[in-house]
């Protein structure tokens, strides 16, 4: 929750008052929710990857989403993974129809699983700057 408070404190004011409850808005105060939102998010990611000098063939917003979902499914909680990914349940998914919410503990367990995959078993208790190489092993294609 502390990270979300930081994002809200530093985000730009939305242009449209209807978007005041959105967590993420562009630097111009525009919503990422639109018919071409995927393009807007992908462009932002490419900008920051380029700024950080992180480049390799095939690295895109969608390749990162695919990778996250593949690793996250190892936590064996598909409903929590789908919630994190922002996937809407299928129309015939009766479990989702009757599910009122997914607990924070389930969501955190998925995030912890991915974090451990990226940074190793000791990273769960280590601070980000205490990991062995400071950047995890994602770039090595683990």
Q: Yes or no: say if 30 and 15 are a contact pair by the CB < 8 Å rule.
A: yes
**Nearest-CA neighbor of 114 among 79, 58, 70, 60?**
70
What is the Cα–Cα distance from 122 to 116, expressed in whole angstroms?
A: 8
Q: Tell me the domain boundaries of the chain.
A: 56-140
Q: What pLDDT, on a 0 to 100 scale, did the predictor assign at position 16?
A: 86
Q: What pLDDT, on a 0 to 100 scale, did the predictor assign at position 80?
A: 92
DSSP secondary structure, 14-71, as one string: PSSGGGTT-S-B-TTS-BS-STTHHHHHHHHHHHHHHHTT---TT--HHHHHHHHHHH
Q: Look at 105 and 87; give whichever has higher pLDDT.
A: 105
Confidence bin at 34 (pLDDT 50/70/90)? low
pLDDT higher than threshold 50 for residue 142: no
pTM confidence score: 0.62
Report, as an integer, the average pLDDT of 25-46: 76
Confidence bin at 70 (pLDDT 50/70/90)? very high
């Amino acid at each position: 929750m502390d990270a979300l408070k930081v994002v809200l404190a530093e985000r730009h004011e939305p242009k449209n008052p209807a978007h005041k409850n959105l967590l993420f808005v562009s630097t111009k105060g525009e919503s990422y929710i639109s018919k071409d939102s995927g393009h807007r998010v992908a462009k932002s990611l490419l900008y920051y990857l380029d700024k950080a000098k992180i480049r390799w063939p095939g690295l895109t917003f969608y390749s990162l989403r695919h990778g996250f979902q593949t690793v996250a499914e190892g936590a064996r909680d598909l409903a929590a993974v789908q919630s994190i990914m922002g996937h809407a349940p299928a129309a015939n998914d009766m479990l989702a129809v009757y599910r009122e919410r997914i607990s924070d503990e389930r969501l955190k367990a998925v995030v912890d699983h991915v974090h451990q995959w990226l940074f190793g078993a000791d990273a769960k208790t280590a601070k980000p700057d205490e990991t062995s190489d400071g950047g995890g092993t994602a770039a090595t294609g683990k």
